[in-house]
Structure 1
Amino acid sequence: MLFRDQTLAAIASGEVTLAFRRRKRPTVKAGRRVRTASGVVLIGDIAIVDISALSESDASSAGFPTLEALREMLGPDDGTPVYRIELTGLEPDERVALRGEASLSDADWHALTLRFARWDKTAPGYFPSILRAIGAHPEVRAADLAAKAGVETPKFKQDVRKLKELGLTESLEIGYRLSPRGEAVLEKLREHRL
């Protein structure tokens, strides 16, 4: 689920509390969280609604100046359901703070090596090689890094997201870079030759 920066600011301030999307099925689940560039959007209840029952209040709560603007965004009724999605807040993304933690405790290092070992059962050394590639080639397109790694781009991106969850990488407009934590892990990998 994508949000514009202006909408994210309005969610953070409590001005926007709803989203409406025309989809065959919802792309988010109630009670889940959606990561964005500005933080984590908290998702409340989700329900299918009749577009003719939408009100000016619904439009305002979704950040639209008028009901007509909301209906225009949803497009013509082609039979695809319209979902009403409650947005219950915006929290800081815990990965941002984690990225800056460059000092790794023995417990941190142990947990990371166990995670790499689990992930690398099918391709030993694959995840450390991604860190090395990003460290050596920041701001390089994912497709180029994937080709060098010999994997499909979607798989490579998915695997980089796993590293991002651990606070090791940061996405850029083009490509990635290692976070301070990622740099520290890469240095440990060099020391241990993993």
Structure 2
Amino acid sequence: MQIRPAELAAIRAGDIDVAFRRWERPRLKVGTRMRTAVGLVEVTSVDRLPVRSLTAADARRAGAASLAALRQGLERVHPDRPVYRIGLRYAGADPRQALREAVPDAAEIGAIVAWLDRLDLASPTGPWTRATLLLIDELPATRAPDLAQRMGRDTPSFKQNVRKLKERGLTESLDIGYRLSARGAAILDHEGHPRSAQDRAALEPGTPLPHIGAPATRALTAYGVVRLEQVARLSESEVLALHGVGPYALRHLRTAMDAAGLSFRDDPGATPETP
């Protein structure tokens, strides 16, 4: 279920608690927890209902401008399908975020290494786990198709493998590509792999950037900014001055920062500090 960034921020703030979709059949079950850019969003209800039963209160709860706007939106896509009302609530931070930032102890490292070995042994195309981690470390914020090509893999199977690493907190997804987590770096360092990125500053904990588009993500990543807390050290004008950052990205950054209780540094004339 696709949910726009602004709607995710409103769900997190409690301003939106329902969504409406036209489906041939229910695609979600009550209790499902979806991982999103703002954290976990839980499905609290799934009810089929006729369009004529929609109310102004439904529109407000869904974040629509009006009841007419809600109905018009539902008529644009698959108008022949039934309408479902999906109850939603913010269910907390994605547990993988804390996992990514937790450097494993000796026992955890042993368990992760054994798990990586099992993945390599089970792979019909040969070992891939360490090579993938090293490639992501070398080329953060790089398109998945480009990384897959470097690995000699097709994009879907490469993404599937990266998702396995992400589940264990070894990588994190960016708006473009991926980034090695502190946990993933600890594994590579433990095994003595030569890392081209070893001299980089330690990964900073905090809230990942929202989806702001490829050019803006590249611009901020190149500037060393990958967390909202780092964005808050800059002024709006400093961020907007980065090549690739436009009004769309700035709007979504503001929304995400508001939801996280952060704001831009309010000194537009100051010299930008190093993130």
1:138 corresponds in structure 2 to 140
1:95 corresponds in structure 2 to 96
**1:8 and 2:8 aligned:** yes
Alpha-carbon distance in 2 for matches of 1:20, 1:33: 17
Instruction: State the SS of the aligned residue for 2:42.
Output: strand
2:23 corresponds in structure 1 to 23
Using CA pairs under 8 Å that are at least 6 residues apart, name the structure with larger relative contact order, 1 or 2: 1
Does structure 1 retain, via aligned residues, the 8 Å contact 2:169–2:183? yes
Give 1:52 deviation, angstroms.
1.6
- Which stretch shifts more, 110-119 or 170-179? 110-119
Q: What's the CA shift string for 1:123-148, capped at 9, x where partnerless? A: 44212221011112212210011112
Alignment of 1:58-73 (within 5 A): 58-73=58-73
Alpha-carbon distance in 2 for matches of 1:89, 1:18: 11
**Runs of 4+ residues deviating >4 angstroms:** none
Instruction: State the SS of the aligned residue for 1:2.
Output: coil
1:180 corresponds in structure 2 to 182
Alignment of 1:74-85 (within 5 A): 74-76=74-76, 78-85=79-86
Does structure 1 retain, via aligned residues, the 8 Å contact 2:39–2:90? no
**1:35 and 2:35 aligned:** yes
Which protein is richer in strand relative to its size?
1
Alpha-carbon distance in 1 for matches of 2:161, 2:173: 13
Instruction: State the SS of the aligned residue for 1:138.
Output: coil
Gaps of 5+ in 1: none
2:160 corresponds in structure 1 to 158
Alpha-carbon distance in 1 for matches of 2:112, 2:126: 15
Alpha-carbon distance in 2 for matches of 1:188, 1:163: 17
User: Cα RMSD (Å) of the superposition?
Assistant: 1.9
Instruction: State the SS of the aligned residue for 1:31.
Output: coil
Give 1:26 deviation, angstroms.
3.9
Alpha-carbon distance in 2 for matches of 1:114, 1:82: 47
Amino acid at match of 1:86: G
Alpha-carbon distance in 2 for matches of 1:20, 1:63: 11
Give the length in aligned residue pairs.
190
Does structure 1 retain, via aligned residues, the 8 Å contact 2:23–2:84? yes
1:119 corresponds in structure 2 to 119
Give 1:164 deviation, angstroms.
1.4
Give 1:70 deviation, angstroms.
1.0
Alpha-carbon distance in 1 for matches of 2:69, 2:32: 28
Alpha-carbon distance in 2 for matches of 1:184, 1:45: 41
TM score, norm. by length of structure 1: 0.88
2:44 corresponds in structure 1 to 44
Alpha-carbon distance in 2 for matches of 1:16, 1:72: 19
Q: Percent identity?
A: 43
Alpha-carbon distance in 2 for matches of 1:9, 1:152: 34
TM score, norm. by length of structure 2: 0.64
- Which stretch shifts more, 72-81 or 180-189? 72-81
Alpha-carbon distance in 1 for matches of 2:160, 2:23: 24
Gaps of 5+ in 2: 194-275
Give 1:62 deviation, angstroms.
0.9
Does structure 1 retain, via aligned residues, the 8 Å contact 2:11–2:88? yes
Q: 1:83 to 1:111 in 2, by over 3 A?
A: farther
1:189 corresponds in structure 2 to 191
Does structure 2 retain, via aligned residues, the 8 Å contact 1:141–1:175? yes
